Chain A
Amino acid sequence: MTVKLNDAAVDALRADIPSLQACYQCGDCTAACPWAARVPGFSPRRVMRGLQIGSGFSESELWRCTACSACTVACPRGLNPPSVIATARRRALVEQNIPSGVQRALESLADRGNPFGMGASSRGKWAEGLGLVDHGQFPVLLFAGCTASFDPRAHGALRTLARALQVSKTKFGLLGRRETCCGNEALAMGEVGLFEALARENIRAIEESGATTVVAASPHCYNALKNEYPRLGLSGVEVLHYTEMLARLLSDHKLATPGKIARKVAYHDPCYLGRVNRVFEAPRDVLIGAGARLIELESNRDGALCCGGGGGGAFREVPLNERLSVARVKEAVEAGAEVLATACPVCVQMFEDALAVTGLQGSLEVKDTSELVSRAMGVTVRH
C-alpha cells in the first residue's frame, strides 16, 4: 500500500510546503523522534526526503507521526515535519490510503463535530447538574473539547475544573452545543478543509459569547485556538490552558489549596502544552502548591516522551511493543511515582489504557492535574 506522488502532486505539495526544500537531510529529527527509536526503519528524515523527491512511501510511515514535535525542536533549520506530514496526508486521503480508525474519526468529525461517532446533541451533557451558563455573554469561556466532553473517564476532571472556577467566583460560561471540535487533530490528519470549517464555527460562537479569555481544558484545543485560529479571524481573545488559569487564580488568592496531596507525583508534560507551546512551569507550580511531592521523570519538559495519542495516534492500532504510553507508565513506576499527573485528557486515556494492558493498575494512578488540585481545594463534584 504505497502512496505514490505523481509529478503534479509533488509540484502541488512543494507549492504547499515552501520549507520542504530547506531540509538538508541532517537526520537530527530522526535522532529526536520517539517512534524512530522503537520502530525499525521509521525515519522522519526519510519521510521528508520522500516528499522532496516524490518517491512513494508506505501508509504506516505516513500515519506513524503523533505530532509530538520533538523533531521540530531538534531541527536546525526551524522546519516543522509534523505539518509537512499533515500536508502529505491530505494526498493520502484523496488516494484512500487511510487507516480505518482515522477514516472513521474524520467522517464523524464532518458529520457530528466529534471524532467518536457520538451524537452532537450530547456534547454538553458532561455539565449537567452544575448550574453552568451555556448561552448569552460572559468574559471567560471554558472550552471543553471533544475528549473531555464525551469520555466519561474525563468528566470527573472537567467537572471539578468547572467547579473550581465557580469557587473562585470567576464569571465564566460554556458554548454547550454550539461548541464543535477545535479541529486540531483534523488538521494534523490532513483535513485542512474540515479544520477550517470547524474553526470558523467555533470562532463565530466565541465572538457571540463576547468572551475575552478562553480557557482550554485540552492542550490540543489550546494549540488550535492559540496558534491556528488567529489567521482565520479570531482576535482580541487571550487563550489560556487551564493550568495557566489555575496558576493565576492561585497566585491572585482567588483559590486556595489547604488540603495537601502529599503523594509522590510525576508530572508528564503533554506535547501540545509543553514542547509545542512552552508551558512547563504553571502545571508544576500548581501541583507543588497543592502539596504534591513532585518528582521529575528522566525525560521531561522539552524532552518529555509523547503519550502517542496526538496526530491521529488515538485512532490507530499500534502493536503493544511499540506503544509509547506503555514505555511512559513503566518509566513512572520505575521512578517511584505513586501518581502520574498530566494536563491533557488524551494523555490520560492513553496512560489508563497502558496501565490496563500492563497490569500496573495497582502500582500507579493516572490523574489529570485538575483532579489533584480540586482534591486539595476540598472541591468535590457529584458524578
Chain B
Amino acid sequence: MKIAVCVKVVPDPSEITFDPQTKTVSRRNARNILNAADLNALEWALHLKAHTGATVWTFSMGPPFAAQNLADTIAMGADDAFLVSDRALAESDTLPTSLALAKAIEKAGGADLVFCGDETSDSATGQVPASIAEHLNYAQVTFARDLVLEPEKHAVRVTRELEGGQSLVESDLPCVISILSGSNRPRYTLFATRQGARASFKPKVWGIADLGLPREVVGAAGSPTRVSAVTAAPSAHRESLRIKGPAREAARKLAEALEARGAFEGVH
C-alpha cells in the first residue's frame, strides 16, 4: 500500500505581521515550518504504516529551502520525500499547484491514498485536496476526522465532519483524503533525529520539465485567479482600545467595539 502525503511549508503564523505602509505581509521574523494540518495528515499516514506496513512518501511544492522541512518528514517516519520546485511555479494559484502535486504523485508511481491537511495557515483556501483528486481522477473524501482502512474491500471508511454533524463515507481506492486539523496528536520527533535527517537526507527535486508541464499551465499564466489587492484586516493592528466607566456604558462600548471589528459576523 502506498500513501502519498502532501505538505506545505508556510511561514510561522505567530511571527507574521502586516506592514500598512508598504501594504505587504512581512515574513521577516517567521521561520518556515510545516503547515500544522499537514502534520495531522502525516501522522495518520504513519499510523497506517505502523499497522499495515504501508510506504509513506511526502510531497511538497515550494522553494528549495523546503527540502529541510521535507527532511523533517523523514525524521518523523516517512520513507521518502519529493520536492516540486521551479521558478516557473511562482504565483501559482490552486489550479497549477494541485496540478503540479498530482503530476509528481503520478511520476512517483501513483498512490492508494493521498492525504492532505484540510487547509493551510497562510492562504486557507482548503481547495487543493479536491483539486488534486480531480487531476488524478481519484475518489475524494474531505474534512476527515477519523478513518478506517478496509483492505479486503480495497476501500476506506471515513468520518467527515460537517457543520453540526458527521457523514460516514465509504470510498474505493485510490482516494484523496483531506484531514481535519487537530484530528490526532502528531508524534514527537527527537531533536537529534531531526538534526540527523536534515544533515543527511536530500529529497528528489523535480521541476516542471521533469513533470512534463509546459510553462503556460503553471505560474501566473496558468492561474485563473490572481490577487488584485491586499489590505490589513480591521483587527490586524493590536492597538488596544481601553474602555472604562459605569458598567452599562462600558458594556455598550464593548458591544460596539466588537461589532466594529466584525466580531459579530456569524452571530444572529
Interface residues of A (CB under 8 A from B): 90, 93-94, 96, 98, 100, 103, 106-107, 110-112, 117-121, 191-194, 197
Contact = CB atoms under 8 A, between A and B. Distances in A.
A312 to B, nearest CB: 13
Nearest to A92: B188
B190 interface: yes
A96 B187 contact: yes
Nearest to B16: A119
Contacts of B31: 111-112, 120
A120 B15 CA distance: 8
Contacts of B195: 193, 197
Given A94-B190, A110-B191, A191-B190, A121 B185 contact: no
A147 to B, nearest CB: 18
Contact of B188 (A93, A111, A192, A193): A93
Q: Most chain-B Cβ atoms within 10 A of its Cβ — which of A98, A103, A111, A193?
A: A193
Interface in B143-188: 185, 187-188
Given A111-B31, A111-B33, A193-B195, A106 B14 contact: no
B190 A111 contact: no
Contacts of A111: 12, 31, 33
Given A119-B14, A120-B15, A121-B15, A107 B188 contact: yes
Contacts of B29: 119-121
Contact of B191 (A98, A103, A197): A197
A118 B191 contact: no
B58 to A, nearest CB: 18
Nearest to B31: A111
A111 B29 CA distance: 12
A382 to B, nearest CB: 16
Contacts of B194: 110
B14 A103 contact: no
A195 to B, nearest CB: 9
A119 B185 CA distance: 22
The SS class assigned to the A binding surface is helix
B185 A106 contact: no
A226 B133 CA distance: 57
30 contacts: A90-B190, A93-B188, A93-B190, A94-B190, A98-B188, A103-B185, A103-B188, A106-B188, A107-B188, A110-B191, A110-B194, A111-B12, A111-B31, A111-B33, A112-B12, A112-B14, A112-B31, A119-B12, A119-B14, A119-B15, A120-B29, A120-B31, A121-B15, A121-B29, A191-B190, A191-B191, A192-B192, A193-B190, A193-B192, A193-B195
From B29, B190, B192, B195, residue with most partner A Cβ within 10 Å: B190
Quick one: which of B14, B31, B195 has the most chain A CB within 10 A?
B14
Contacts of A119: 12, 14-15, 29
A112 B33 CA distance: 11
* Most B-side CB within 10 Å, residue of A100, A118, A120: A120
Given A93-B188, A93-B190, A100-B185, 10 more contacts: A90-B190, A98-B188, A119-B29, A120-B29, A121-B15, A191-B190, A193-B191, A193-B195, A194-B191, A197-B195
Given A103-B185, A193-B195, A197-B195, A117 B14 contact: yes
A98 to B, nearest CB: 6
A96 B194 CA distance: 15
Of the listed residues B14, B15, B187, B191, the one surrounded by the most CB atoms of chain A closer than 10 A to its CB is B191
Contacts of B33: 111
Nearest to A191: B191
A96 B9 CA distance: 24
A119 B192 CA distance: 23
Nearest to A97: B188
Interface in B182-232: 185, 187-188, 190-192, 194-195
Contacts of A96: 187-188
A192 B14 CA distance: 26
A197 B188 CA distance: 17
Nearest to A107: B188
Nearest to B187: A96
Interface in B1-28: 12, 14-15
B1 to A, nearest CB: 22
Contacts of A100: 185
A117 B36 CA distance: 13
Contacts of A98: 188
Interchain residue pairs A-B with the least CB separation, the first 8? A193-B192, A121-B29, A194-B191, A193-B191, A119-B15, A119-B14, A103-B188, A96-B187
Contacts of B190: 90, 93-94, 191, 193
Among B31, B187, B188, the most chain A Cβ lie within 10 Å of the Cβ of: B188
A29 to B, nearest CB: 28
A48 B15 CA distance: 43
Contact of B14 (A118, A193, A197): A118
A120 B191 CA distance: 18
Contacts of A94: 190
